[in-house]
Structure 1
Amino acid sequence: MKIRRILATAVAVAVTTPAVMLSVTPAFADTKPGAQTPAKPTVKELEKAAAEAQKAYEEAFAAEKAAYQAVEDAVSDTAPLTVAAKAARKAADDAATAKFKADTAVTDAQDVLDALTEEATEAERAGAEKTLADAKTAAEAAATTATTAEADAKAARKLSDDAKVEAFRALSTAQDATKKALAASTAADAALERAKREEEENPGGGDCVDEPGLTTVVKGFPSKVTAGTRTAFSVRVANGSDKEMEKVLTYASLHATDKGGSKDIATYLKLKWSTEKSPKWQTVDSDLYIDAIGALKPGEQAEIKLRLDVDAKTPAGQGLTFIAGDYFNKDGSCGLTPDAAVNEFDIKAATGKPGAKPAPTPSTSTPAAGSGATPQGSGSSVPVDTTGGTLAATGSSDTTTQLALTSGAALALGAGAMFVVRRRKVGSDA
């Protein structure tokens, strides 16, 4: 009977530590010799971990929304610092105008004095000289006022700009926290679901243990895809242990939401696979397992070609894939990669104009534990489109663009936000 995989390491951590610290990266895998495999958690423990992770995610998402609102407030024309900066700029401009008039008065007074002839009386000359002196005094005062006002205007603008930059940075930090909480909730939720399925379909079966020697490395995964296109990549499954694995399976799940994170759009996407022995493309079914490798002896590896088909009607959004490896033997022993390889990608809506399909932008995926690789998601490296959001349209100065560039991904809600919430609703909404 097919063994259902459980993310044992990640869930064990979820049960004993705050949910927001949970990760589906290799960080929690202990590959040192003699390291003890964490005890398999019970379904009850998994339910508790999933509930705590979900709560942590909801709190992080609420904090992110608050940070987003803070950004909108900061770049608003009615923000106190923005109003103060505009007032200071107006004062500086008025002072500059006054200085110009004062300088003009000096020039005019000098012209009057220079125009006096020898026939001018002593009183006329004295009056012209006094007018010039008074004009110079007024010009000096106007120059001082203008210099001070300009400095005040620059200082006020800097305060306003700094507040905007800080708001963007705070949003970026909040988004990062949301992503971590989302990964924790998704991992805990998936572990619970699969533990229940294993319990139902493999009653009394032996516990699967973490096997750092079983690795899944995704190659060529795109950081973004476009509606109406197909993108090919691959996963290499390797047996780096000293034991034979008689039956090796590859687990692959796909999730996607629209830009707002509230609508599940995964139905528009299809994940397909093929191998050298089975070249015909096959859709990864609801079971989420690819049974195409068979046995792997120590040191052996196998490669599975994968293809992500994106329907032409797919709306813009974000996506996530989870890919991992399992094995089981006839004697009842079984093992699994300690963590899933997590890959994030942006989904671009179709432009409506026929043409060549854009080449995918490859990114380094997050390999499963035991591979020795450093986790790296693709979502954070994707440039943010600042032309269609509310924030890009607010603010009147040219600093808005600079702030957007400084903030990086701050203008977009975290990739895949609401995956867990929406995924749980799908079953009841169907």
Structure 2
Amino acid sequence: MEPTDLGICEDQDPNYKATLRIALSGLSGKIAKGSGWHPFKMTVTNPSKNAIKDVTLAAGVGPLDSDDPFTLKQAVLQAYDPDGKRWFNVTDDGTYSLGSLGPGDLPGHTTVDLSFRLNVTAQAPVGKALTIGLGVYPDTKNNCEATSFAAYQISIVKPGTPTTGSNPVPQTGGEAPLPSEAPAKGGSSHVVPASDTTAVSEGSLAHTGASSALPLIAGIAGAAVVVGAGTVFAVRRRKSGGAAV
């Protein structure tokens, strides 16, 4: 999808609430530098009866006190492609850990789980960080770009620092608290199209009646950013209740 001139619905109407729901789950509240991959999940839900068209997702991680995401040398964010059976970097420019996925359509009364993992390298700065999941789609009725997001504060700590039992801090706008259970390691939680009903028994897709949908992630990512995902990411950071302003 090409960038659009539509304004952001929430900016035009402070009381606007997007239909799409985004939630993140599975990350520890503390991640030690150089400790390897940490899996988590983005859950995308359409609670309405009508399909949401042209949904583009974005995910990113960065310092709490900056609008810029981490570079790939500091933290690598990856999503799982079940068709290719491999992980790929979530990045739109090959430099920063912020990228867009999609677009795709999400049928009514449908929930899709997308698998991600995060590797914080030895080059990452110690301190507070923010993870964000974002969904963007055109609201044709209101002639604006609808956004839904979840944001959680985590701490990047020195190697050897105890991290067991730590919980991330949901920021204002986070759709749901993070459960303590993390997805199974090794990529067993898959990114799936909503039409893949065989995944229901594996717990990787909650499917409630829709017969088909385009995959929200298809093959290796590299889609154009919609309304500038980086700009929206920065706006969501400032509205997340964290220190970033």
CA, structure 1 residues 214+281, in 2 after alignment: closer, same or farther (shift >3 Å)?
same
Residue 27 of structure 2 corresponds to residue 221 of structure 1: yes
Q: Quote the residue 1:305 is aligned against.
A: 115
How many Å separate the matches in 1 of 2:171 and 2:85? 26
Residue 246 of structure 1 deviates from its aligned partner by 3.0
Q: Quote the residue 2:43 is aligned against.
A: 236
Residue 344 of structure 1 deviates from its aligned partner by 0.4
Residue 89 of structure 2 corresponds to residue 283 of structure 1: yes
The answer on whether the counterparts of 1:238 and 1:300 sit within 8 Å (CA) in structure 2 is: yes
Residue 121 of structure 2 corresponds to residue 314 of structure 1: no
Tell me the TM-score normalized by structure 1: 0.34
After TM superposition, list the pairs within 5 Å mapping 1:27-426 onto structure 2: 30=15, 37=16, 210-211=17-18, 213-229=19-35, 230-256=37-63, 266-267=70-71, 268-286=74-92, 288-292=98-102, 294-328=104-138, 335-338=145-148, 340-351=149-160, 361-363=166-168, 365=170, 373=176, 417=243, 419-420=244-245
Question: 1:68-115 CA deviation, whole Å, 9 max, x = no partner?
Answer: xxxxxxxxxxxxxxxxxxxxxxxxxxxxxxxxxxxxxxxxxxxxxxxx
CA, structure 1 residues 335+315, in 2 after alignment: closer, same or farther (shift >3 Å)?
closer
Residue 322 of structure 1 deviates from its aligned partner by 2.2
Q: Amino acid of the residue matched to residue 155 of structure 2?
A: D
Residue 8 of structure 1 deviates from its aligned partner by 3.7
How many Å separate the matches in 1 of 2:60 and 2:137? 17
How many Å separate the matches in 1 of 2:22 and 2:106? 13
The answer on whether the counterparts of 1:238 and 1:302 sit within 8 Å (CA) in structure 2 is: yes
Residue 328 of structure 1 deviates from its aligned partner by 4.3
Residue 217 of structure 1 deviates from its aligned partner by 0.9
Query: Among the aligned pairs, what percent are the same residue?
Result: 23
Higher strand share: 2
How many Å separate the matches in 1 of 2:173 and 2:49? 18
Higher relative contact order (CA 8 A, sep 6+): 2
Residue 313 of structure 1 deviates from its aligned partner by 3.3
How many Å separate the matches in 1 of 2:48 and 2:110? 9
How many Å separate the matches in 2 of 1:228 and 1:366? 26
Unaligned runs of 5+ in 1: 14-27, 31-36, 38-209, 377-414, 421-430
Partner of 1:345, secondary structure, is strand
Residue 311 of structure 1 deviates from its aligned partner by 0.6
How many Å separate the matches in 2 of 1:334 and 1:265? 26
Residue 347 of structure 1 deviates from its aligned partner by 0.6
Higher helix share: 1
The answer on whether the counterparts of 1:224 and 1:361 sit within 8 Å (CA) in structure 2 is: yes
The answer on whether the counterparts of 2:28 and 2:163 sit within 8 Å (CA) in structure 1 is: no
Partner of 2:86, secondary structure, is coil
Q: Amino acid of the residue matched to residue 256 of structure 1?
A: P
CA, structure 1 residues 331+215, in 2 after alignment: closer, same or farther (shift >3 Å)?
closer
The answer on whether the counterparts of 1:315 and 1:349 sit within 8 Å (CA) in structure 2 is: no
Instruction: Figure out how many residues of one structure are paired with residues of the other and give that number.
Output: 174
CA, structure 1 residues 350+364, in 2 after alignment: closer, same or farther (shift >3 Å)?
closer
Residue 309 of structure 1 deviates from its aligned partner by 1.0
Residue 300 of structure 1 deviates from its aligned partner by 1.4
* Bigger Rg, which one: 1
Tell me the TM-score normalized by structure 2: 0.56
How many Å separate the matches in 2 of 1:284 and 1:322? 12
Q: Amino acid of the residue matched to residue 242 of structure 1?
A: K
